[in-house]
Structure 1
Amino acid sequence: METMDFSFSFDEMPIAAKFISDSFTRDIKDFQKIYPVFDNEFKVRFNEQITMAKEIVCCGPEGVKIQNVRIGLFRKIESLNTLILEVPHYFSISGITQFDYIVEIIEKNNLCSVLSIVPNLLQQLQENMPTQDEDVAQSIIEGIQSIYKVLKLDRIELNRLLNSHGLLKEEAFRCLNHLWATMQDVMEIGQSLYRIDDPMKSVEYELDYIKMKVKTFWIHSSADSVV
């Protein structure tokens, strides 16, 4: 069975679905007024799909490894952000181009963007080594280098796990395909219901908003809270 083109990674699917389900549960009466099929039985099936997906992609050995890498990744980016915020105290910011933009990228926790900007940042830091507090400045550079190297390894490990044969079984495809179809139905109807009369609610059913909530979830989670 071929997988659909999901907008989330395997281990993110149950998390994203839970956010959608929570909004739907709150708004179920509004859904039913126009679409009777969205009843309590539908809600139960939706939650059963979420539970099954969670067991398949989160609770198995590969899923737990993915969560640990992902959660650890955000912890390291948080440490990187702390080091970057120390830079203005020891380096000449005027010698570092787009420093504010660099800070913004790191604060967004986008691993690909972080890995792309760090080498250039390190080069600029080394070119602007201060004459005073040189030891502290050097420790900042070394700290950034160390985190960068580990993040590169994290990225390799995360990509490997996300393509693990243990998660790519037909059972996982079938479960996630059904879940994704349900998620799309609820998102589409939720947006159409509230787009005009209640834009704030409509946003809760939009893909970008749910992606943001999933990212925030990982940043503030531990593996125990997922499984």
Structure 2
Amino acid sequence: MSSLLLVLAAFFLPLFPASVVFNRLAAASDHLAVRLALFVIWPQIGVLLILWGDLPMDPGLIAAWALLSAVLYAFRMLTVREVGRWSAMLASSAWPLAWLYALQTPDAPDLVAFTLALTAAPVLMLLVRATLASRLEAAYTGLHGGLARDLPRLSGVIVVTTLAAMALPLFPGFFALLTVMSGATLWMAVGILLIWLLWSWAGVRLLEGTVFGPRSGPVAADLTMYSAWGLAFLIGVMVAAGLAWSGAAL
């Protein structure tokens, strides 16, 4: 793979410090459709560059760079309170794992599907962020806590979406981690487990600052039944797609 293609791929399938570009773009727009398009399309450009460039140049260097980038942003998730930025940090921590999977020389459709599996949770978190902002005028953890008391449907969606961000079983991220770990070396597997642990820690902190605890903040309307079922259907589709892909990839 040429040096130019490697640098370009590191911008679109973000590796630190090139990942700063994606995070700046993610923070630049509050328009939900623009953010969703950015989250879905941006990493797939990086995947296409990897497939075109025929990895690797130095597998050990790329693997170490990807793991360090993923760990860095997993730690950043512990300090970020705004849910939109939290989602961008999750994406910046998850997408470097696609480099590790690419080093295992999977088929092109599997690499595309793997990256989409890592993108599912950040996309769901963007929807949660938009819902919180529209009802509470802000989407900060710790600012409007105890939502389970007055907004049970929204709280249920937040809980399920956060579990997806923690890559727990049945969600696409879980199967993506299993897939990359099945072909990883010992030191790579240890790094992936550390990232997984940090995602879980960050997810618990997010739930503590939104769903649980004493109620604080303004009175707000809960999700309508139709909206709640619509989000539940979207989550179900993502789970089903993850199960179907993992059955073929594992």
TM-score, length-normalised on structure 2?
0.31
Query: In proportion to residue count, which structure has more helix?
Result: 1
Larger relative contact order, structure 1 or 2 (CA cutoff 8 Å, min sep 6): 1
